[in-house]
Amino acid sequence: MAGLVIPLVVAVVTGMLLHPVVDRLERIRCPRSAGAALVLIGLSTVVVASLWLTVVGVIDQGDEISARVTSGLEFLDQEIGARWDPIGDPETAQRSLADAIPQFLGGLSSWFGTVFSSIAAFLVGTGISAFFLYYILRDWYPLNGWMEQHLGVDPDLGSAFVADANNAIRSYFGAITLSSLVTAVAIGGTAVLLDLPLALTIGLVTFVTSYVPYLGAIFSGAFAVLIALGSTGTRDAIIMLLVILVVQNIVQTLMLTKLSSDLLNLHPIVNLASTIVGAAMAGLLGAMLSAPVVAIAIAVQQRLAAQRHAGTADLTGATDHL
């Protein structure tokens, strides 16, 4: 079920954000079907380019990174060996190694199986999401009209509900974009000051992966630290790591909370609490969408209350007139 629900949710949210681009293409006489395809191709190009730049960057620095990591491991081995000899005599070492090899091979086989299934699930989910997204972008306004007519309320009120949902999603991701831009500039600027190669790539990867909660920060942070380690050494890698921890965990979190709370009219405590609850209930997707969902729920409740109040007022006025 999650293999279909998650791609659908991702496609709907992405459609909310990108349908204005298709609208602009349509205004310059580009058919919506062609415009939706162009947007899908452009989005795929950005994602693939970011991954390619990341892989190429690590490969370019791979030899130096490997040499420095190997040197560090050898240093640790020497330090540990000087203080503690856990192996003992050679016969014991051989028996331990013979016992460990089957366990290692079994664990390696399990790891490869997990990685393969994860990649396969990701590719299938991406394909389903792209399929959904194309039709959402192409048929945005008919889908909105159908939704407004089938919410079980007055069509005008249904239209207001749909508009509230669109505004909440776009406002929240606008806050993410602005905070991600500041984060990317800060981390990329640090790379420039440290005279690291691929500083622009580090900034781009940081910006793109900021849309993925938690995992995106880990991925971009590891990439930047590896580039620093492979190009200029341990000192700059530690500096880069400290900057990333401060910027991503403190600066970006505070900035995103402030911006999204203002745009969604939520108290910061409600914003943070909804993110925690969303992550606990629905993982990364829940963490990403919990704040706008709460804002949408509040807007719906307010509109229903206003409608009930208006109906009560009209009924009271009619009674007084009689």
Measured between alpha carbons, how far is 291 from 297 in angstroms, rounded to an integer? 10
* Structure confidence at residue 37 (pLDDT): 94
Tell me the average pLDDT across 214-226. 85
Residue 99 lies in a domain: no
Tell me the average pLDDT across 117-128. 71
* Structure confidence at residue 23 (pLDDT): 93
Confidence bin at 81 (pLDDT 50/70/90): low
pTM > 0.95: yes or no: no
| Structural domain of 23 | 2-80+104-308
When mean pLDDT is compared across 59-73, 106-120, 198-212, 295-309, the lowest value belongs to 106-120
29: pLDDT strictly greater than 80: yes
125: pLDDT strictly greater than 60: yes
When mean pLDDT is compared across 57-71, 136-150, 203-217, the lowest value belongs to 57-71
**What sign has the CA pseudo-torsion 212, 214, 217, 223?**
negative
Counted domains in the chain: 1
Share of the chain above pLDDT 90, in %: 24
236: pLDDT strictly greater than 70: yes
Confidence bin at 178 (pLDDT 50/70/90): very high
Confidence bin at 192 (pLDDT 50/70/90): very high
Provide the mean pLDDT of the chain: 80
Output the 3-class SS for the chain: CHHHHHHHHHHHHHHHHHHHHHHHHHHCCCCHHHHHHHHHHHHHHHHHHHHHHHHHHHHHCHHHHHHHHHHHHHHHHHHHHHHCCCCCCHHHHHHHHHHHHHHHHHHHHHHHHHHHHHHHHHHHHHHHHHHHHHHHHHCHHHHHHHHHHCCCCCHHHHHHHHHHHHHHHHHHHHHHHHHHHHHHHHHHHHHHHCCCCCHHHHHHHHHHHCCCCCHHHHHHHHHHHHHHHHHCCHHHHHHHHHHHHHHHHHHHHHHHHHHHHHHHCCCHHHHHHHHHHHHHHHHHHHHHHHHHHHHHHHHHHHHHHHHHHHHHHHHHHHHHHC
Residue 52 lies in a domain: yes
Instruction: Using CB atoms within 10 Å of the CB of residue 207, give its burial: 0 to 12 exposed, 13 to 18 middle, 19+ buried.
Output: buried
Residue 187 lies in a domain: yes
* Structure confidence at residue 126 (pLDDT): 80
* Structure confidence at residue 80 (pLDDT): 53
* Structure confidence at residue 244 (pLDDT): 94
Residue that wins the pLDDT comparison between 93 and 56: 56
* Structure confidence at residue 218 (pLDDT): 87
Confidence bin at 287 (pLDDT 50/70/90): confident
Residue 7 lies in a domain: yes
Residue 88 lies in a domain: no
Measured between alpha carbons, how far is 85 from 237 in angstroms, rounded to an integer? 31
* Structure confidence at residue 55 (pLDDT): 75
Q: Which residues lie below 8 Å from residue 243, measured CB to CB, with a gap of 6+?
A: 186, 187, 190
Share of the chain above pLDDT 70, in %: 75
Residue 15 lies in a domain: yes
Confidence bin at 129 (pLDDT 50/70/90): confident
Confidence bin at 40 (pLDDT 50/70/90): very high
Residue 316 lies in a domain: no
* Structure confidence at residue 87 (pLDDT): 47
For residues 313 and 33, the answer to whether their CB atoms sit within 8 Å is: no
Residue 313 lies in a domain: no
